[in-house]
Amino acid sequence: MLITEKGGDNVKINMLQIVKSTFLLIILLALINCVYGADTTTNKVHVDQSNMTFNSIQDAINDPTTHSNYTIEINPGTYYENLIISKNVSLKGMGKQSKDTKISGSNTGRVILILNPGTVVYLENLEITEGKAPNGKYTVDGPRNGEDGGGIFNCGTLYINNCRITNNNAGTGANGGAYGKQGQFDVYHNKVWSAGNGGNGGGIYSLGTLIINNSTIENNCAGHGGNGCHDYLTSSRAIYEPQQRSFAGKGGNGGGIYAIGVLSINGSRINSNTAGLGGVGGYGQPDYYSVIPTPTDGGDGGSGGGIYYNGTNLYINKSIFQSNKAGNGGKGLSSEDLFFEEPKLYAYMSGSAGGHGGNGGAIFINSNGSSQTINTIKNTSFIENYAGNGGNGGNGSSTTTISYGGWNGGNGADGGNGGAIYLNGACKIQGSYFTRNYA
């Protein structure tokens, strides 16, 4: 017991209470550091073998002391980076769950790019999110396709263990039209441009070997097709060759994964991924003997909502595919969709047909019709997956537009096939469960 004097009064202070209060304060400060430290401290990334620490994951990868096959340990937190990996390396999140350690592309670029075919990369206990492959650009040679691989673009050998690949998007195709101005005509090249297709592989685009274990591929989307040109080419500026047409872009394939080569998936969930939508139909020049435009159909929707696989070495075991969807076809061109430089001009035309819906709500397998394949799906569930819907036909010109009657609307297109799986070639399916899948 300690006695002190204060204003002539004796005040008794219990030393045990002081010790207890100090101890509780230390614990509180430690908890605050655990909760907030991942986002506020520097040197959050540690290379196990070299015992070096870094402020970013890319710095750790690039450092000359990080040799081949080293492991980079990443503290919990969110890391806003667009990684380029050109050496054999392991990236390991140190949180209790994969969602504790996120690598975000900030929707400004891919999260991870692996270009060297000889590179071997391991991802463990991480969330790869908010990646965005570049949209198709409009160039002097016409519109470009959207680029592939929103979250990860892999040309090497990639192992993904206990990770989440979520909310990533492949690039959208550029709209059809003109040099220098999308959606309008090209007075420089005597050319009507078609639109670009959407990019493939919203979550992952793989040209090499891809091994996925105990992971989740969720809420990713392939790129949408661009719209065809919507500029009505007036007689005063119609310097084009007749019968040129601006076709709509097709939706990208593989909302979750687009893979060529080896693809192995074990104990994983592939949920709520979507292939790309087809673009709206475009304008077509009349032929020599007519003044009536010939509009083009809507673009076809992308196939493989969960996975688009192109090859003969697929293995899927003990996994779940749920709520994935192939892309819807684009709408046909309507007369009211066209852009007029001269308001008194009207498009005398029928509406064009919609685009076809994409095939394979969960998986599209293309082995080019080959029966010589080792594609295998075992002990896997397919629940509530959907093929794509066909696009609506465009509207024809109304009777108020022209004096001799209206024009027909375009036809709606067919929906896609294979609510769960669409096969072009052989695949062995064993012990698997299918329910509530729709074409």
Task: In whole angstroms, give the CA distance from residue 351 to residue 281.
Answer: 9
Q: For residues 85 and 69, is the Cβ–Cβ distance under 8 A?
A: no
Q: Which pLDDT belongs to residue 348?
A: 53
pLDDT at residue 34, as a whole number: 41
Please say whether the beta carbons of 361 and 305 come within 8 A.
yes
3-state secondary structure (DSSP) of residue 21: helix
Nearest Cα to Cα of residue 389 among 417, 420, 415, 422? 415
Q: Report whether 107 contacts 143 (CB < 8 A).
A: no
Counting Cα atoms < 13 Å in the Cβ hemisphere of 397 gives 20
Give the C-alpha separation, 150 to 255, whole Å: 10
Distance CA 421, CA 427 (A): 10
Length of the chain: 439
Supply the pLDDT for residue 367: 87
> Which residues have C-beta within 8 Å of that of residue 23, sequence separation ≥ 6?
none
Residue whose structure tokens are 């139909």: 281
pLDDT score for 175: 87
pLDDT of residue 397: 56
Burial (0-12, 13-18, 19+ Cβ within 10 Å), 13: exposed
Give 96's contacts (C-beta < 8 A, 6+ positions apart). none
* pTM (two decimals): 0.84
**Contact status, residue 289 vs residue 316, Cβ threshold 8 Å:** no
The pLDDT, as a whole number, for residue 437 is: 95
* 35-59 burial code (b ≥16 CB/10 A, e <16): eeebeeeeebbbbeeeebebeebbe
- Sketch the domain layout of the chain as residue ranges: 1-41, 44-435
Distances in Å between the Cα of 307 and the Cα atoms of 281, 362, 433 are 26, 6, 17
All residues at 6 or more sequence positions from 400 whose CB lies less than 8 Å from its CB, including other chains: none
Tens digits of per-residue pLDDT, 397-434? 554 444 334 456 556 668 889 999 999 988 999 999 99
Instruction: Give dist(CA 149, CA 166) in Å, integer.
Output: 12
Where helices occur in 333-430 by DSSP H, the ranges are: none
- Residue 414 tokens read as 């067919």
Residue type, 372: Q
> E strands within 75-132?
77-80, 83-84, 89-93, 101-104, 112-114, 120-124, 127-129
> Any idea which residue has 């052989």 for tokens?
426
Contact predicate 66/48, CB 8 Å: no
Please give the pLDDT value at position 35: 39
Q: Quick check: 407 and 377 in contact, CB under 8 A?
A: no
- Name the token pair of 387: 């093929």
CB atoms within 10 A of CB 33: 12
Taking a C-beta distance cutoff of 8 angstroms, is the pair 103, 125 a contact? no
Q: What is the pLDDT of residue 180?
A: 36
- Closest to 320 in 3D by CA, of 270, 386, 265, 257: 270
pLDDT tens digit at each of 439 positions of the chain: 333 344 444 434 455 564 455 555 545 544 444 433 344 344 489 998 889 999 999 999 999 999 999 999 999 999 999 999 999 999 999 999 999 999 999 999 999 999 999 999 999 999 999 999 999 987 777 789 999 999 999 999 999 999 999 999 999 999 886 443 444 444 445 566 789 999 999 999 999 999 999 999 999 999 999 998 766 553 334 444 555 677 899 999 999 999 999 999 999 999 999 999 999 887 766 555 555 567 788 899 999 999 999 999 999 999 999 999 999 999 887 766 665 444 444 445 567 788 999 999 999 999 886 666 689 999 999 999 999 999 887 666 554 444 334 456 556 668 889 999 999 988 999 999 999 999 9
Residue 313 amino acid letter:
N
